Structure 1
Amino acid sequence: MRFKLKQLGPGVLVAAAFIGPGTVTTATMAGAGYGYTLLWTILFSIVATIILQEMSARLGVITGLGVGDALRLKTKSKPFKLFTFTLVILAIVLGNAAYEAGNLSGAVIGFELSTKGFKVNPLIVLLALVTFALLFIGKYKLIERFLIGLVAIMGIVFLISAILLQPDIFQIIKGLFTPSIPENGTLMILGMVGTTIVPYNLFLHASSVKQKWKGGSSLSSARWDTILSVTLGGIITMCIMITSAVAFEGQNTKINDLNDLSLQLQPILGTWATEFTAFGFLAAGFSSTITAPLAAAYATAEIMGWKNGFKNIKFKSIWIFVLLTGVVFSSLGFRPTAVIFLAQVANGLVLPIIAIYLLWVLNDKEIMGNHSNSGWVNIIGIAVIFITVLLGIKGINSALGLI
């Protein structure tokens, strides 16, 4: 087990990316509104994410290609290639810029009172500077270890919260293995799945995996890393929902701000509940603040055929653009929810398309050789794509106010 734990890395980047402020808020709202009923959505999300991310990791390990590289190789028709490249670049770069604003705003949401009087929140600037320093240094292992630490902190914080509130174990098991759709709960279900299955993670994973492992002999390590990391991320999300389900049981609480979120911890933490929640948001937002610019840079560099690497000036220009855009929008006072809605439009368009492309590439024996998809992986992959199409429709409609 000790040896296997040392193999953790790229998968943790994926977990760190999807456990952001949006996940914390959505899981809290789901627990407050529906109790344990929607725990099955997290279990489904874990399985779906593992399937897609395993394909992405396998592509990187076996071929040394990122998802963007594979898209560039597989799209031969010029009109089709232009459409694909434009869609992916706009969705990933602009979408991640929007998410970056939400990540930065969400990370410091618990410290707003202490920063009143400043035109620009100094904590946002500080987080941006630390993120800039980590990415500019370009030490992959340093970034990897930093994010492993943040995910570990989040896991401990939310796991302790869930345990101390003494949840109903029977109801947890029932919620996990008895799928049901409560009244007016469809959008919340899609939202829960959508916080875990993130399109830019497919680019991030393949690109980071190929820096750590090469060849079929490393495939088992990459799979272990993927399964354990995504499962850990899912468990953290479950703990947030369980904590909220216990704290808000029998109440009709509407979650509007951090004070509402911190109510779930008051029974065990008293007056420290707000600070504790603020720290959870800080860790969640900070981890996603690092991964969003990095994924955008990987995706663009691969699609455009640039020499990939932290030292490449074009590569740097992309993550700097995403980071600066996030700082500007979050500093101008845009509500994180409004900003993230913009990202939902982009993700709604690109998620099912990238999943379809990934399935297409992973079935190409000329690229994957003996490591192409098996039949059961294809079946599950197609089912996941169907769900992602629904998520795409939901994301676009929500952002446009059609539902």
Structure 2
Amino acid sequence: MPGRASASRAPLILMIGPGLLLAATGVGAGDLATSSFVGGLLGTTVLWAVVVGAFFKFVVTEGLARWQLATGETLIEGAVSRLGRGVVWLFMPYLLLWSFFVGSALMSATGVTLHAMLPVFEHAERGKVVFGIAASLAGLVLVWFGGYRLFETVMRVCIAVMLVTAVLAAGLLWPGTLAVLEGLFLPQIPEAGGQGLSWTLALIGGVGGTLTVLCYGYWLREEGRTQKDDLRVCRIDLATGYIVTAVFGLAMVIVGSSISIEGTGARLLVMLSDRLEEVMGPAGKWMFLVGALGAVFSSLLGVWQSVPYLFADCWGLLKGGRADAVTRVDTRSAPYRSYLLLIATVPMFGLFWSFRDIQLAYAVIGALLFPVLALTLLIFNGRSAWVGPNFRNRPLTIVVLVVVLLFFSWIGLRPFV
């Protein structure tokens, strides 16, 4: 493509794109609620866990990008070409299950946030349902009619609002530089009545996205990043995105550590905003709510836009087709738009379930994917015959992927043992 040779020497601001989309999509209700709750329970002593979680996700996503730039295939396409179409039949049930619970969780979180901002309903549960449905339909319209560029613009605005408000809230509630530095560089896990380990693991596992990391490759194609020398750009882009993710998580742990809040469920965000109003005044409450809305709606919008890529790609693979390095998924195609309609409507039934139960199911199902991704990247990126010697896993990457494999396997199995 003309001009592609100079892409790796572009100004920094032009390199940062899909990584921010990934950050905005991955930072949602789970990060917001879990980080603030863990901060209130364990304090700033577990700030290190946020950094570790973001680093784990960076290594996995960098491996996905490295595979795609080396081979011209998304990871799903690569798995099918080497292992057969049975991979798609195994993946599709997981995709449907993940879409339902994550879609419900995002509608629920956006609905709760909007109810906190506009408490026109007597009961928070009713506000969650009505506003959650409205947010889902708004996301559907934006993705359906707006295209990738409008989506990218809206996401940039959301993540800017989200990050600025979280950092300002943390700054206003600053617990002291020494406490923050100790939490970052002196890892420890408080006892907290036997809950310390479980919540620290939840914090590490909940940082950033889960299935949405697979969508990074489709955004690379939208941006025209298809050559091997684009890897440097992708690493800068991803590092920026996960730094943003980590900063947001750190800020929310600090906010949570500075106020006292109890409870979960649909009123969690309402209660958190009320406590911030007591500590910081009405401006603090509204600052938090605006940032929270930016976080949860950008996550909803990102999932609505990106996950249909996966279904459309899988559908094409089952029909016998395979995209090459420069072919984008057609966002006007029947498979893409059908799944967009599906994910924006069917999970509405989950709005009538407990907010906490939906969030738990979302976290467990998401955690189950990462051991599979880590194992796949260890094998696929470990073969020079497939990716070339320059793109093969280095020893440090292998160590981190093994740790990710073991860690997320443990998290995924904990609820069942």
TM-score by length of 1: 0.88
Match of residue 8 from structure 1? 16
Alignment pair present for 1:32 and 2:40: yes
Tell me if the contact between 1:293 and 1:323 (Cα under 8 Å) persists in the aligned partners. yes
In the alignment, structure 1 residue 381 sits paired with structure 2 residue 401:
yes
The residue number in structure 1 matching 2:104 is 101
Q: Offset at 1:170?
A: 0.9
TM superposition shift of 1:2: 9.1
Kindly provide the amino acid, as one letter, of the partner of residue 233 in structure 2: S
Give the Cα–Cα distance (whole angstroms) in 2 for the partners of residues 119 and 376 of structure 1. 48
Q: Secondary structure at the residue paired with 1:180? A: coil
Checking the alignment, whether the CA contact within 8 Å between 1:92 and 1:346 is kept in structure 2 is: no
CA spacing shift, 1:153–1:71, aligned 2, 3 Å: same
Shift of 1:125: 3.3
Which residue number in structure 2 is paired with residue 89 of structure 1?
92
- Cα distance per residue 1:190-246 (max 9 Å; x no partner): 111221253312311122113321112221111100001111111011001112212
1:76-126 deviations in whole A, cap 9, x for unaligned?
4xxxx53x4344222223212211111111112134322459799443333
Give the equivalent residue in structure 1 for 2:236.
224
Decide which of 147, 167, 171 is 1:159's aligned counterpart.
Answer: 167
CA shift digits 1:11-65 (9 cap, x unpaired): 1121112211121110011110111111010010121111111111222333332
Structure 2: gaps spanning 5 or more residues? 1-8, 324-328
- Match of residue 183 from structure 2: 175
8 Å Cα contact 1:68-1:300 kept in structure 2:
no
- What is the match of residue 333 of structure 2? 312
Residues 74, 182 of structure 1: alpha-carbon distance in 2 compared, 3 angstrom cutoff = farther
Name the structure 1 match of 2:354.
335
Give the distance between the partners of 2:236 and 2:127, measured in 1 at CA. Answer: 46
Alignment correspondent of 2:247: 235
Of the structure 1 ranges 291-300 and 313-322, higher mean CA displacement relative to structure 2 is found in 291-300
Instruction: Say whether the 8 Å CA contact 1:359–1:378 is kept in structure 2.
Output: yes
Whether the aligned pair in 2 keeps the contact of 1:10 and 1:209 (CA below 8 Å) is yes
Instruction: Give 1:345 shift.
Output: 4.2
Q: Distance in 2 between matches of 1:96 and 1:56?
A: 21
Residue by residue over 1:138-167, the C-alpha shift from the partner in whole angstroms, topping out at 9 and shown as x without a partner, is 622221221121111100001001111232
How far apart are 1:172 and its partner, in Å? Answer: 0.7
Q: Distance in 2 between matches of 1:320 and 1:292?
A: 12
Q: Which moved more, 1:174-183 or 1:107-116?
A: 107-116
CA distance in 1, matches of 2:156, 2:112: 23
2:368 pairs with 343, 349, 373, which one?
349
Paired with 2:272 and 2:130, the residues of 1 have a C-alpha distance of 23
Which residue identity lines up with residue 365 of structure 1 in the other structure?
Answer: S
Please report the TM-score for the alignment, with normalisation by the length of structure 2.
0.85
* Cα gap change, 1:139 to 1:60, in 2 (>3 Å): farther
Where do residues 35-50 of structure 1 align in structure 2 (5 Å cutoff)?
A: 35-50=43-58
CA drift at 1:286? 0.7
Partner of 1:130: 138
Query: Is 1:247 aligned to residue 259 of structure 2?
Result: yes
* Contact 2:112 2:131 (C-alpha < 8 Å) held by counterparts: no
**Structure 1 residue 297 and structure 2 residue 313: aligned?**
no
Structure 1 CA distance for aligned equivalents of residues 39 and 412 of structure 2: 23
Q: Residues 111 and 137 of structure 1: is their aligned pair in 2 closer, same or farther, counting only changes over 3 Å?
A: closer
Counterparts in 2 of 1:68 and 1:372: CA distance versus 1, 3 Å: same
Matching of residues 359-374 of structure 1 within 5 Å: 359-369=378-388, 370-374=390-394
The residue that corresponds to 2:210 in the other structure is 199
**CA separation of 1:199/1:164 partners in 2, compared to 1, >3 Å: closer, same or farther?**
closer
1:288 equivalenced with 2:337 (yes/no): no
1:114 alignment counterpart: 120
- The alpha carbon displacement at 1:359 in A equals 2.5
Aligned counterparts of 1:68 and 1:280: Cα–Cα separation in 2: 34
Total equivalences in the alignment: 386
Q: Tell me the SS of whatever aligns to 2:190.
A: coil
Amino acid at match of 1:231: I
The alpha-carbon distance between structure 1 residues 302 and 2, as it changes in their structure 2 partners (threshold 3 A), is closer
CA contact 1:108–1:282 (8 Å) conserved in 2: no
Partner amino acid, structure 2, of 1:210 = R
Corresponding residue SS for 1:95 = helix
Residue 299 of structure 1: how far off its partner (Å): 2.4
